[in-house]
Amino acid sequence: MPIESCCLIDLPKISDPRGNLTFIEGGRHVEFDVRRVYYLYDVPGGAVRGGHGHKQLHQLIIALSGSFDVVLDDGTAKTRFHLNQPNRGLYICPMIWRELDTFSSGSVCLVLASEVYDESDYYRDYDRFQLAADAERLRMTRQK
C-alpha cells in the first residue's frame, strides 16, 4: 500500500467543564473492526518502539497522554507524524513499516488493531519487508 493510504483521523471530542471525553466506534471512526487493543507506557528516553511492518493488519495509533513520533515507510517513501492529542489518531494500513520514537516523559500510546496477535503477520526484517513491498507495488501496477 502507498504511504498516502495512511492518515490522521480526528476523533469526536465532547468538552465538559468536568473533563473531555473521546470515543471510537469501529466501522464509523475506523474502517475496521477492533479485535485487539494494547498500549505502550513507561517508554525510556531515547527508546524506539515498532520497527516492523504488517502483511494484513490495520491499526489506529493514539497518543493518550504526552507525545511521540511515528515514522512510516512504504519501501519508497518515508513520512513522520507527531502525535500529541488524545482525540486524533494515525491510521496505518497494511504493508507499512513503522517506528515510534521521541516519547515524552509519561506518554501513553494506545493502539487499536484489526486482528488478534499473529506472529506470521509481521515483517521484522526491513530487507524482507522491502522485497515484499516492491512485489506488492509491481502487482498493483500490473492490475491497473
Catalytic residues: 52
Residues 49/99/40/123 CA torsion (nearest 10 deg): -80
Report the largest interatomic distance among the alpha carbons of the chain, rounded to a whole angstrom.
Answer: 55
Distance CA 80, CA 10 (A): 17
Neighbours of 90 (CB within 10 A): 20
Determine contact, residues 51/40, Cβ cutoff 8 Å.
no
Distance CA 101, CA 46 (A): 7
Determine contact, residues 58/92, Cβ cutoff 8 Å.
yes
